[in-house]
Amino acid sequence: MRVLIADDEPLARERLRMLLGEHPQVEVIGEAENGQQVLQQCEHLHPDLVLLDIAMPGVDGLETARLLRQSQPPPAVVFCTAYDQHALSAFDAAALDYLMKPVRPERLASALEKVATFLAGRVPGTAPRPLRTHLCARLRGSLRLIAIGDIRYLQAEEKYVIVHHTRGEDLIEESLKSLEDEFAERLVRIHRNCLVARDELVELRRSGDGQVHAVLRNVPQTLE
């Protein structure tokens, strides 16, 4: 497993390198002090895993992780940070794990196992990324996680998507097309502006004018 360590603190990078030295399957191929260096090194070194600090100068770790998702193939990302308030944002960025500093050897070992499982599941020639278990809505400076399994349907509204779920509804700043691509096995498009959860779909009806109406469980109105 080829690993890139990213942290603006030299002592933190040294500690991670020492801990990784206890795992013979791991090869540390580089270090970075900021997000820009991470992106540059990933382009040339193609690591399997980036151990990524969040509070770095310039492009922070969260934004760096989101940019790495565009790589072909994207590396696995595990955050290592001293700040637990970033946990929700980390999962929104599709990180495989979130380690608190000082990183404990057993937690690092657990994270490496997750990464190994993820890498083993990749099909040659494809570029999968860790499938999110939650969407993330921003509410007045805070974040709310919405479990993918709780989603009933999604509606596009200008530059936002309204997520209708078991606890109500929230706005997220993502495109319907990207959500359809990412969750194709779970969500189905019934028309240009709406995706519905396959598990919630009871019936599709076609009206006389050819328009499709969807009937969902626990949703009183039909969707059209």
The answer as to whether 127 is a domain residue is no
Pair of tokens at residue 16: 């991670």
pLDDT tens, residue by residue, 51-106:
999 989 888 888 899 889 878 788 999 999 887 665 556 666 667 888 889 999 99
Residue that finishes a domain, picked among 120, 149, 184 = 120
**Judgement on whether residues 25 and 67 belong to the same structural domain of the protein:** yes
Over residues 8-17, the pLDDT tens digits come to 999 999 999 9
How many structural domains is the chain composed of? 2
- Tell me which of 191 and 84 has the higher pLDDT: 191
Q: Identify the domain containing residue 186 by its residue range.
A: 135-216
Q: Look up residue 23 and give its two tokens.
A: 């795992």
CATH code for the domain of 151: 2.40.50.1020
Residues 50 and 90 in one domain: yes
Q: What is the 3-state secondary structure (H, E, C) of 60-103?
A: CHHHHHHHHCCCCCCCEEEEEECCHHHHHHHHHCCCCEEEECCC
- CA 207 to the chain's CA centroid: 38
> Are both 105 and 177 inside the same structural domain?
no
